[in-house]
Amino acid sequence: MPGDLLQKKKKAIGERWLASLLATYGEDTAAFLRQQKNRFANPVGRTFADASRAILDEVLDGMDAANLCAHLEEIIKIRAIQEFSPAAAVSFVFLLKDAVREEIGDAAREPDILVELHEIETRIDQLALFAFDIYVKRREQVYSLRLREIRNGFAEPA
């Protein structure tokens, strides 16, 4: 069964995807986020690890939109605060396609696997749309907070 291959490769896919996500940061930051496992010393790295694992579970197992968006929001809200551009903020979603393809390798040429791969990649495309919507919502919140701080005299204009 094609889905069995993806389930067998789930851990490796998740690790590869997380490594790709962390690589979107500078080399030193990525190394810290990857190596520091303490959730208090590295809340961002821990959030990325936990949320990416949960997102992968949803993508491979069913796509419950509410659960998916909740986990996706954990990553996107961090990237929105860090002022990533919209494209950069959601680019990590598409890196999941690469992780899947790299892990399944030549098996992607088999007809049954190809059908499953198409379904997974369609889910990842939907995930990217969810991510973009979440990013826009979060950026609006950031701008609203900044405007409120400026009006109240707590912050300087950027």
Residue by residue, DSSP assigns 86-136 as HHHHHHHHHHHHHHHHHHHGGGGGSHHHHHHHHHHHHHHHHHHHHHHHHHH
CB 96 within 8 A of CB 17: yes
Mean pLDDT, residues 15-38 taken together: 90
- On the question of pLDDT at 4 being above 90, the answer is no
Mean pLDDT, residues 15-31 taken together: 93
Q: Work out the percent of the chain whose per-residue pLDDT is above 70.
A: 95
Residue 128: closest CA among 55, 19, 43, 61: 55
Go through the domains of the chain in sequence order and give each one's CATH number. Answer: 2-151 (1.10.490)
- On the question of pLDDT at 157 being above 80, the answer is no
- How much is the pLDDT for 73? 96
- How much is the pLDDT for 1? 43
